[in-house]
Amino acid sequence: MASDPVLKITNVSRTFGAIQALKEANFEINEGEIMGLVGENGAGKSTLVKIISGFDPGFKGSYQLNGKEVKFDTPSKAEESGIAIAQQELSLIPNMSVAENIFLTGAKVKKFATLNTLSKMARPYLDEVGLTDIDPSTRINLLSVGEQHLVEVARLISREAKILILDEPTAALGELESRRILEMVQRLAKNGKSIIYVSHRLDEIFKITKRITILRDGVSQGVQETKDIDVNKLVEIMLGRELANMFPSRADHISLESKIEVKDLWPDGVLEPVSFSAYQGEILGLSGQLGSGAGEVLASIAGALKSRSGSLTLNGETFLPKSPSQAIKKKIAYCSSDRKKDGLFLGRPIFENLTSPALDTISKFGFNFGSTEDSYAKNLAQEFLIDVKRVYDESGLLSGGNQQKVALGKWLSIKPDVLLVNEPTRGVDVGAKSEIYQRMRELAARGITIIFASTDIQEITYLPDRVITFYRGMMIDEHRLEQIKTPVILKEITDPFNETNL
Amino acid sequence: MTTITQDNKTPFSSKFLQFYKDRTLLAILLSLFAVMFVYGIFFTDNYLTITNFKAIIRDAALYGIMAIGLTFVTLSGNFFLLSLKETASICGVTFAMGMATGFGSPDLVGNFLVSLLAALSVGVLSGVIQGYFVGMGGNPIVVTLGGAGILYGIGAWWSDNLVINFKRPHDAEWLGTGSFLGLPSITLAFILIAIAAELVLRHTNFGRKVYLVGANKAAGRATGHENFSMAIIVFTICSVCCAFVAVAFVAQMDSAQSNYFSAEFGSSGDMTILVIATVMVGGNSIMGGYGSTLRTSLGAIFIAMVDNMMVLQGFNSGPRIVGVGLMIVFSIIVFGLFAKGSRAQE
């Protein structure tokens, strides 16, 4: 390296209980450099980022800043040393002005300051991040999400941050907004700030970074010069060559008997009406990043999200469900991505959760005297590998993996024809993950059509029989069986139109 | 981003609390009963008499029935029907109008059945309308406060704020002051309604849905149980209970006035507060999804006992209302402590 790195981390490891989140991570960044940080979910990116920004002092290894060994107990200590992080979830106060948000902590501000003074003080920082046309007295909630991200960064700069960590700044943004963020990043780097850019969007990584640090399974895979590497090589390093055998083998062929036909479905978050069909007994994966529209399509098939137009054809009937209860009557089950929000009744016992969609079928004339329900729930529990003895416990007491099994397993109670799953394994440990995959495959073999949406690239590559890719609200392409290849899919969900010109 | 999920063992203390939560709360309530009872025997004159116990249960019955209705609303996560006494007021006026004037037709004067049906219909109507607005997404507090004003206003307007009298003997005496098997009929009604309500909650689909929707509205919608129909049904149940109590009370007084349920009712003055207190003292969760009408019934008897004791000790209404207030605060604290220990965080 030409100059000494401003921040250097060597041989850092971090364990949480039995789980080793980081094994052997090295990281460094020079002044005025944009360093990309990539890795799949669970590779240890966020753990590393937390260590750098002082949120997580419990690591082992060496952490050097400007050549001196440092240890930050709290994020504010790290901030004093010039390290600041802009997290995915913004920490702005929506109904206060831009200027007030920038000087929220009150550092550098006189005891009595009018909005006017604050606005004048905020101006240079806003200019620096490219918000030249924004009045600092505007309320935050009148800005777009992208502009809010820029304000967040302006706030960090106002505290004289030298090293900025941007954690997925464009995950929830559209094309134009993302471009503003990228411009800002490049401008800041030119002004001598060091920027750690964490992103799943490989096109962005290639556009703006000089070097890339790749993490896999908690181990850093060496630093790559961006100009010496291409997308395929990067993905190969990210995933490693060995493929986990947690996925059941796929079906050997796809039945061509169409089970459900989706025609011109057009929910919010999708740019143009979407049509596709799913076959009897297959697992169909909808692949796309956050904001790609894949999840929205699923939700609107289930009636959980309104669609502007379109219809479904299932078992010879054509209809469009307006609510989940209509979809349930047609034997369409939908397991949402957020089980705590609308997947589980956390305060109620597990057996009530398991039978909740099927109350009408297990009761006689609206009466329900326990024994039928009991055996029904226990059968379901057994089938989904939930401890039968625990069915009377509150479901909120279960671990994430078991909760997900309950959230998914309850839908078997309606004997669905079509099972829609959004993010089947979000926040689920590895063991439960493979159990869930196994179950999904068995259900498909029984003739249930399963459609799932996922942002997890491994899951999308190895679980489904067919994959449809989505990018920013558009349907891109379809792949079958052995044509499902990670690099191709990654390309299609991050950069289908060759915007990186690689 | 990365989430690290560990198969955490549930802490022993939370398991323990989970298991004993129900029993412990009941035990607390029952031991308070016992303490009250013993204290009453030794320190209060005229406590251990049959007349006094009949009076306690009779008091408990009136607001107990309304509280059972309100329990459905609270369990389903729709907070409270704040127009309790106003619903009772307009239904009472309707009933008395029927008994006294036959709604203008001389043939119907004093016709119990017609008057009863009219009062219950008014209850159903007000429940359906308020439930509709809540089901459409209205805030239950705001909707039912508005409903309270409108219902009370209509009752007062219709009756010119006068006392509507109807003379004995009349066909409603059996409900107002009559008794069966040695129990006042309103007490008997309370017992029957309490048993029926508990059976409905435990053993019907509807009852289960009340709990599920109350525990999590979004998950309820996702599994096909919408709060829209739920709100309409529970508010109607609650309003009908109010109407029934109003009819019984008016039958007992042989007269009705629109402000009976604010001033004349019971010993603690305001009926709405008393009924809400009953639901809370029973230990039902304000947020819904946890509780039962059995708890509410016990709460009703408990409040009636405390109130009765204070009457016999010579307290007048001010301190007695303070007593009810203290009971609410106490029960919320106890319930809150237990809920914290047992519910899994997040």
Q: What does the alpha-carbon distance between residue A50 and residue A12 come to, in Å, rounded to a whole number?
A: 12
pLDDT tens sequence across B323-346: 878 887 887 777 766 655 444 332
Answer whether A413's CB lies under 8 Å from A376's CB.
Answer: yes
Higher pLDDT, B340 or A119: A119
pLDDT at residue B97 is higher than 70: yes
Q: Do residues A227 and A281 share a domain?
A: no
Contact B116, B247 (CB under 8 A): yes
- Expressed in percent and rounded to 5, the helix, strand and coil fractions of chain A are 35, 25, 40
Cβ contact, residue pair A359, B209, below 8 Å: yes
Mean per-residue pLDDT, A258-271: 89
Question: Which residue range(s) make up the domain with A189?
Answer: 7-239
Task: Render pLDDT for B63-73 as a digit per residue (tens, 0 to 9).
Answer: 899 999 999 99
pLDDT at A453: 92
Domain-embedded: residue A374 = no
Find the mean pLDDT for residues B240-265.
Answer: 86
Using a CB-CB cut-off of 8 Å, the residues of chain B touching A356 are 208, 212, 219, 223, 225
The last residue of a domain, from among A239, A273, A294: A239
The residue type at A77:
K
User: Within a domain: residue A291?
Assistant: yes
Q: Residue A112 contacts by C-beta under 8 Å, 6 or more apart in sequence?
A: none
Split at pLDDT 50, 70, 90, the class of B286 is confident
Q: What is the distance in angstroms between the Cα of B156 and the nearest Cα belonging to chain A?
A: 41
The answer to whether the CB of A90 falls within 8 A of the CB of A147 is no
Q: Under the phi-then-psi rule, with left for phi > 0, alpha for psi from -120 to 50, and beta for the rest, what region is A365?
A: left
How close B52 comes to chain A (CA, Å)? 39
Task: Name, of A475-489, B141-155, B311-325, the range with top average pLDDT.
Answer: B141-155
Asked if B271 and B262 touch (Cβ cutoff 8 Å), the reply is yes
Helix pair angle (B205-215, B50-75), 10° resolution: 70
Segment holding A285, helix H or strand E:
strand A283-287
Name the 3-class secondary structure at A259: strand
- Pick A347's closest partner by Cβ from B14, B215, B221: B215
With an 8 Å Cβ cutoff, is A169 touching chain B? no
pLDDT for A1 equals 44
Is A212 in the same domain as A155? yes
Nearest CA in chain A to B6: A429
In chain B, at which residue ranges do the beta strands (DSSP E only) sit?
164-165, 179-180, 183-184, 255-256
Which pLDDT score is estimated for B17? 47
Name the minimum distance, in Å, from the CA of B17 to any CA of chain A. 12
Share of chain B above pLDDT 70, in %: 87
Residue A388: inside a domain: no
Instruction: State both tokens at B343.
Output: 């519910």
Residue A205 touches partner B, C-beta closer than 8 Å: no
On whether residue A396 sits in a domain, the answer given is no
Q: Which residues of A touch B212 (CB under 8 A)?
A: 345, 348, 352, 356
- Does residue A453 lie in a domain region? yes
Q: Do A323 and B226 touch (CB under 8 A)?
A: yes
Q: A436-443 long-range CB contacts below 8 Å, 24 or more apart?
A: A436/A401, A436/A404, A436/A405, A436/A408, A437/A246, A437/A247, A437/A248, A437/A463, A438/A248, A439/A383, A439/A384, A439/A385, A439/A405, A439/A408, A439/A409, A440/A283, A441/A248, A441/A250, A441/A283, A443/A412, A443/A419
Residue A421 backbone phi and psi in degrees, to 5: -130, 125
ipTM beyond 0.85? Answer: no
Residue A235, min C-alpha distance to chain B (Å): 18
Q: Does A168 touch chain B (CB under 8 A)?
A: yes
pLDDT at B287: 86
pLDDT tens digit sequence for A410-460: 999 999 999 999 988 876 766 677 788 989 999 999 989 999 998 877 788
Would the CB atoms of B212 and A366 count as touching at under 8 Å? no
Statement: residue B92 has pLDDT above 90: yes
Q: What span, in angstroms and rounded, lies between the C-alpha atoms of B279 and A30?
A: 65
Å between B193 CA and nearest CA of chain A? 18
Helix-strand-coil split of chain B, %, nearest 5: 75, 5, 25
Residues of chain A neighbouring B1 (CB-CB closer than 8 A): 41, 45-46, 88, 167-168
- Within 76-135 of B, beta carbons closer than 8 Å to A belong to none
**Is residue A502 pLDDT above 50, yes or no?**
no
Question: What amino acid occupies position A401?
Answer: G
In this prediction, residue A431 carries a pLDDT of 67
Interface of B with A in 186-215 (CB under 8 A): 203-206, 208-209, 211-212, 215
Contact between chains at B1 and A363 (C-beta distance less than 8 A): no
Residue A91 and residue A201 in one domain: yes
Query: Which of A53-57, A293-297, B124-128 reaches the highest mean pLDDT?
Result: B124-128
Query: Both ends of chain B: CA-CA distance in Å?
Result: 18
Of A98-107, A117-126, A328-337, B114-123, the range with the lowest mean pLDDT is A98-107
Q: Is the per-residue pLDDT at B219 higher than 90?
A: yes
Spacing of C-alpha A225 from chain mean position: 27
Q: How far is B200 from chain A (nearest CA, A)?
A: 8
The total number of residues shown for chain B amounts to 346
Considering CB atoms only, which of B14, B218, B223 is closest to A341? B218
Distance CA B165, CA A25 (A): 88
The mean pLDDT value for B166-186 works out to 84
A84 by DSSP, 3-state: which? strand
CB contacts of A323 in chain B (<8 Å) are: 221, 224, 226
**Chain B residues close to A340, C-beta within 8 Å:** 346
In this model, does residue A70 exceed pLDDT 50?
Answer: yes
From the CA atom positions of chain A, what is the Rg in Å? 25
* A340 and A462 both lie in a single domain: yes
Sequence-distant (6+) residues with CB within 8 A of B184 are B54, B57, B58, B61, B177, B178
- CATH number of the structural domain spanning residue A270: 3.40.50.300
Please report the pLDDT score of residue B21 as a whole number.
Answer: 55
**Of the ranges A146-155, B4-13, B155-164, which one carries the lowest mean pLDDT score?**
B4-13
Clarify whether residues A192 and A269 are in a common domain.
no
Buried b (16+ CB within 10 A) or exposed e, A17-28: eeebbbbebbbb
Q: For the residues A153-160, what does the mean pLDDT come to?
A: 85
Predicted confidence band of residue B267 (pLDDT cuts 50, 70, 90): low
Residue B5 in this model has a pLDDT that exceeds 50: no
Q: Is the CB of A325 inside 8 Å of chain B's CB atoms?
A: yes
In this structure, is residue A387 part of a structural domain?
no
Q: Who among A45, A357, A427 is closest to B5 (CB)?
A: A427
Closest Cβ opposite residue A368 in set B208, B215, B220: B208
Q: Do B2 and A21 touch (CB under 8 A)?
A: yes
- Of A239, A271, A300, the position where a domain reaches its end is A239
Between CA A374 and CA A363 the distance in angstroms is 12
Whether residues A233 and A275 share a domain: the answer is no
What is the mean predicted confidence (pLDDT) over B289-304?
Answer: 88
Q: Are residues A102 and A183 in the same domain?
A: yes
* Chain B residues within 8 A of A41 when measuring between CB atoms: 1-2
DSSP structure string for B44-62: -TT-S-HHHHHHHHHHHHH
Judgement on whether residues A197 and A288 belong to the same structural domain of the protein = no
Residues A158 and A265 in one domain: no
Statement to judge: residues A228 and A308 lie in one domain: no
* Per-residue confidence band for A484, with pLDDT thresholds at 50, 70 and 90: confident
Contact at 8 Å (CB) between A75 and A84? no
Q: What percent of chain B has pLDDT over 90?
A: 42
A336 touches B at CB < 8 Å: yes
Domains of chain B: 23-34+47-339 (1.10.3470)
Phi-psi region of B110 (alpha: psi -120 to 50; beta: other; left: phi over 0): left
* Averaged pLDDT for residues A340-354: 89
Q: Residue A61: helix, strand or coil by DSSP? A: strand
> Is residue A226 pLDDT above 70, yes or no?
yes
**Cβ under 8 Å to B: A residues 86-125:** 88
The answer to whether residue A145 neighbours chain B at the CB level (below 8 Å) is no
Q: Do the Cβ atoms of A406 and A398 come closer than 8 Å?
A: yes
- Identify the residue among B2, B202, B335 best suited for mutation to test binding to A, counting A beta carbons within 10 A and taking the highest: B2
Helix (H, G, I), strand (E, B) or coil at A284: strand
pLDDT number for residue A291: 75
Find the CB nearest A340 among B10, B223, B346. Answer: B346
Please give the model's pTM, rounded to 2 decimal places.
0.76
Least confident of A311-325, B239-253, B254-268: B254-268
Could you check whether the bond before residue A5 is cis, i.e. omega within 30 degrees of 0? no
Within-domain flag for A330: yes
C-alpha distance from B116 to closest chain A C-alpha (Å): 28
- Domain presence at residue A193: yes
Q: Is the pLDDT at A67 greater than 90, yes or no?
A: no
Grade residue A180 by pLDDT with cuts at 50, 70 and 90: confident
Buried b (16+ CB within 10 A) or exposed e, A402-418: bbbbbbbbbbbbbebbb
Other CB atoms within a 10 A radius of the CB of residue B89 amount to: 29
pLDDT at site A204? 82
Same domain for A333 and A210, yes or no, is no
Q: Kindly determine whether residue A368 and residue B215, on different chains, have CB atoms separated by under 8 Å.
A: no
Count of domains in chain A? Answer: 2
Question: Please, what is the average pLDDT of chain A?
Answer: 84
Q: What distance in Å separates the CA atoms of residue A206 and residue A224, rounded to the nearest whole number?
A: 11
Question: Is pLDDT at A28 greater than 80 in this prediction?
Answer: yes
Same domain assignment for residues A199 and A120:
yes
Place B6 in a pLDDT band, splitting at 50, 70 and 90.
very low
Comparing A120-124, A315-319, B12-16, B306-310, the range with the smallest average pLDDT is B12-16
Burial A428-467 (b: 16+ CB within 10 A, else e): bbeebbbbbbebbbebbeeebbbbbbbbbbbbbbbbbbbb
A325 contacts B224? CB cut-off 8 A: yes
